[in-house]
């Protein structure tokens, strides 16, 4: 198989979950089931090893780190985009060692955070592409 065909198949595999999601109604809110339960489960383990020391085992926050679940978190991010939140995580977390996790791992941690905040899961993986996530709004309350 020529290289260009392998590259096309690889790219199709990466973007197929997003294409399926966008085929009907594009997700516009965290209430549109933008991650999978499997991805959130993966994120739970990554959170435990990379985030819980500062943000608490129950995402409740700590002395120097804010809560990542609950009403205060949801209202602090209300109206902003999932892309904004992903970028905050991507460039600065874990504190002092942001390169210790890949973008895909950080997307899994974000999926875990969304699940812990009561946002529904679905069939498509949460992407690690900031430009796509910019179109998805964080709504504290279900529309």
Whether 15 has a pLDDT exceeding 90, the answer reads no
Alpha-carbon span 86 to 91, nearest angstrom: 9
pLDDT-derived band at 26, boundaries 50, 70, 90: confident
Which class is 26-133 in CATH? mainly alpha
What mean pLDDT comes out for the span 71-80?
Answer: 98
State yes or no: pLDDT of 3 exceeds 60.
no
Q: What percent of the chain has pLDDT over 90?
A: 81
What tens digit of pLDDT does each residue of 88-123 get? 999 999 999 999 999 999 999 999 999 999 999 999
Q: Which residue has the tokens 């209430």?
A: 31
CA dihedral 69, 42, 12, 23 (to 10 degrees): -40
**Percentage of residues of the chain with pLDDT beyond 70:** 83
What's the predicted TM-score (pTM) here? 0.83
Task: Output the pLDDT for position 25.
Answer: 77
Instruction: Give CA–CA dist 136/91, Å, rounded.
Output: 19
């Amino acid at each position: 198989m020529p290289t260009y065909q392998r590259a096309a198949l690889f790219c199709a595999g990466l973007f197929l979950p997003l294409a399926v999601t966008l085929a009907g109604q594009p997700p516009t809110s965290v209430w549109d089931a933008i991650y999978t339960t499997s991805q959130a489960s993966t994120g739970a383990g990554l959170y435990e090893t990379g985030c819980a020391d500062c943000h608490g085992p129950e995402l409740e926050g700590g002395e120097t780190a804010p809560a990542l679940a609950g009403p205060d978190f949801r209202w602090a991010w209300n109206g902003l985009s999932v892309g904004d939140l992903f970028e905050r995580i991507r460039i600065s977390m874990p504190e002092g060692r942001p390169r210790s996790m890949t973008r895909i791992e950080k997307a899994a941690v974000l999926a875990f955070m969304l699940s812990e905040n009561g946002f529904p899961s679905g069939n498509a993986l949460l992407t690690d592409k900031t430009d796509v996530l910019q179109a998805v709004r964080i709504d504290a309350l279900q529309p």
